[in-house]
Every structure is written in C-alpha cells, then in structure tokens.
C-alpha cells in the first residue's frame, strides 16, 4: 500500500485565562500532505466478507497556531508525527462485476507515534486508539489487482500532553488552553495485490 495522508487534530478549547488576563485558543489552520506506506494482510471469511489488517507508516506534520483573543498575538509550533498504525478491519465487498468490485471497510486500531520528541512546550502523547471507515474498489488486471481506497481515521483518546515539559509557568497558556485534542487523518491510498 502506498498513498498520501492529511493529519489533523479535533481540538476542544478550555477557555483558560492566565494570571495577566490572556485567553489563548488554538487551531490547525491548514493541512500538510504526508506519505503513507504499508503491507496488506487479509483473511477471507466468506465470499463478501474478510478481515484485513494493513500495518502502515504514516509520515506527516501538523502546524498548531495559538492565538491570544485580545491582542491577536500568535505562537506557532510544527509538530511532526510519524505514526505506525495497526488496524483490524472488516471488509464488506460487493459481488464482482466484470473487472471491478467495490467495498466498504470499518474497524479499529492502535497508532504509535515514532517521532523523537523535542523540547517544544506543546507535545502529543505517543499512543492513540482510533476508529476507521473507508471505501475502495478492486480493479482486476491480468497479473495483479489495483485498489484505490480512501479512509478516515478518527481517534477517540486525548492525545494532547497537558503537562509542560519545562518548569516555566508561562507555558501554562499553551497546555491549559486545550481541554482535549483527538487525532484525525484522511488516507488516500493505492493498494497492489
């Protein structure tokens, strides 16, 4: 499997106000494309159902922008995330019609962030659990199958590290301004079997 991904965070704001009256909010203003690669393993349960796992590496980056609501002051942090994911999916395929066969998939998985953490005041936890849903279509050729696929990975655990790494109380404006952050990723891939 080879493809591209876009990583995002769904952020819940805490509306934290610092001692000097500053209120900081954060957002991910745009998406940076990343690269994905993986290996497919599939176990057929029935003609139209199979269990599938695609251990994958997803290389990407997120830009977090913190803004103060009164002054408009900004702080930007580039957070690189190289995820190793292990999903387990149920693949529900239609019957083959000529040389194509569409399918749906749904499942759960675990993601491990392999990026070495630097000393940024904003950090993400290295482990995440996610739900995924996707669609694709098998195209049959004489010697292989080409399978374009799009899937959405939605994390359901808080990946934001709320403890500042440095003993600096001024960094609380970042760590306390986020109540929760869950990961989201879109993967557009081409599978070869």
pLDDT digits (tens, 9 = 90+) for 19-35: 778 888 888 888 889 99
Return the pLDDT at 166.
59
More confident residue, 74 or 56: 56
Return the pLDDT at 165.
61
- Per-residue pLDDT of 142-161, as tens digits, reads 999 999 999 999 999 999 88
Instruction: Calculate the average pLDDT of the chain.
Output: 89
Residue in the structure block whose two tokens are 């599939």: 42
Q: Rounded to whole angstroms, what are the CA distances from 167 to 20, 52, 74, 79?
A: 18, 45, 21, 21
User: Is residue 169 classed as helix, strand or coil in its secondary structure?
Assistant: helix
d(CA 64, CA 68): 13
Is the pLDDT assigned to residue 71 strictly greater than 90? no
- Note whether 117 and 123 are within 8 A (CB): yes
Q: For residue 55, report the phi and psi dihedrals to the nearest 5 degrees.
A: -60, 125
């Amino acid at each position: 499997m080879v493809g591209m991904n876009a990583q995002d965070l769904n952020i819940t704001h805490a509306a934290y106000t610092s001692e000097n009256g500053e209120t900081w909010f954060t957002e991910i203003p745009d998406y940076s494309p990343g690269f994905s690669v993986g290996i497919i393993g599939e176990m057929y349960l029935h003609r139209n159902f199979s269990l599938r796992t695609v251990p994958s590496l997803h290389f990407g980056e997120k830009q977090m922008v913190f803004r103060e609501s009164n002054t408009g002051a900004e702080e930007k942090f580039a957070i690189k995330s190289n995820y190793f994911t292990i999903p387990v999916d149920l693949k529900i395929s239609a019957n083959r019609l000529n040389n194509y066969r569409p399918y749906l998939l749904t499942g759960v998985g675990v993601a491990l962030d392999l990026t070495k953490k630097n000393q940024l005041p904003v950090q993400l936890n290295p482990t995440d659990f996610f739900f995924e849903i996707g669609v694709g279509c098998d195209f049959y050729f004489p010697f292989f199958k080409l399978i374009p696929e799009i899937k959405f990975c939605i994390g359901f655990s808080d990946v934001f590290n709320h403890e500042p790494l440095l003993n600096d109380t001024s960094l609380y404006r970042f760590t306390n301004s986020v109540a929760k952050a869950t990961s989201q990723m879109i993967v557009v891939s081409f599978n070869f079997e």
